[in-house]
Amino acid sequence: MRLSPLLPPLGSLKIVDVGAMMFADVGDAYARLRQSMPCRIVGFEPVVDECARLNERKRPGDIYLPYVVGDGSSRTFYECNFSMTSSLFEPNTPLLSKFQNLEEQTRVVRTTSVETKRLDDLTETAGTDYLKLDVQGAEILVLQGAQARLEDILVVHTEVLFVELYKGQATFADIDTFLRERGFVLHRLSHEGRAFKPVILNGNINGPGSQMLWGDAVYVRDFMSLEGLTPEKLLKLAVILDENYDSVDFTTFVLGAYDRLTGAAVRAAYMKVLAGAA
């Protein structure tokens, strides 16, 4: 923790996690953040058994709800044999079957008619600081139902799909355009994939191939418009950037905006800590 000890007391960071399912060998996107400052998690997981597991091991103050989050429309939920691949969109089997171990993990076992809920309509999501999305191609639906919430949100950490893994889903380009039009800029982008059949690379059927298929994108408030944020919001943004992403240059930039607004000298103190750690 480099930055948190330098700051005045901040309120809890509110994290909304849509698609909150977790596996033992995969940490959540905000794990480091939870170690550095108080956080309250409001999670949504429509696979009922998975939601129950989350509630069994939740921390005090956190809540997980079995809602299907989207744009408020009536939809079909496709539950797959591998719970993590379940989606509001039907798996695109002809495409998936061309890659190692994708079609095999996205076989629909049950369909359910659902009424999706908008984040804008859920009181539990008011005042969200950090939004994490992992909903297998339905990210654009969640964002369309969260346009009021996006006015408060500082960081969006979302899964993105580069090809149509699910029929009719939005791709990275659609997500990127939507968020840029609402005052966010892309900060980080990772990518993953699988090898085209019949190739197995390095003896690992799940190993990455040459084709980018999906990844994670981190969007932040536009750094050219930071003057529109309150001092508390600027400090929360700085903590997220430093503690969760090691974005020390961006953190320094945000602290400069905070110091200009408040007359404080947090940036100099932070840079001193960085120099001592070098």
Q: What is the pLDDT along the chain (278 residues), one digit of tens a residue?
A: 789 899 998 889 999 999 999 865 556 899 899 888 899 999 999 999 999 999 999 999 999 999 999 999 999 999 999 999 999 999 999 999 999 999 999 999 999 999 999 999 999 999 999 999 999 999 999 999 999 999 999 999 999 999 999 999 999 999 999 999 999 999 999 999 999 999 999 999 999 999 999 999 999 999 999 989 999 999 999 999 999 999 999 999 999 999 999 999 999 999 999 998 65
Q: CATH for 11-226? A: 3.40.50
Contact present, 193 and 214 (Cβ < 8 Å): yes
What is the pTM (predicted TM-score) of this model?
Answer: 0.96
Give the per-residue pLDDT at 23. 67
Give the per-residue pLDDT at 142. 98
Distance in angstroms (rounded) separating the CA atoms of residues 168 and 174: 12
Q: Which residues of 216-246 are buried (b: 16+ CB within 10 A; e: fewer)?
A: bbbbbbeeeebeebeeebbbbbbbbbbbbbe
Strand pairing partners for 78?
87, 111
Give the list of residues 6+ apart from residue 27 with CB closer than 8 angstroms, or none.
none
Boundaries of every domain in the chain: 11-226
In the sheet with 63-65, reading across from the earlier edge strand, the strands are 63-65, 39-44, 13-18, 130-133, 155-161, 214-221, 184-189
- CA proximity to 221, closest of 175, 186, 174, 266: 186
- Between vectors from CA 124 to CA 35 and to CA 250, what angle results, nearest 5°? 45
Contact present, 99 and 213 (Cβ < 8 Å): yes
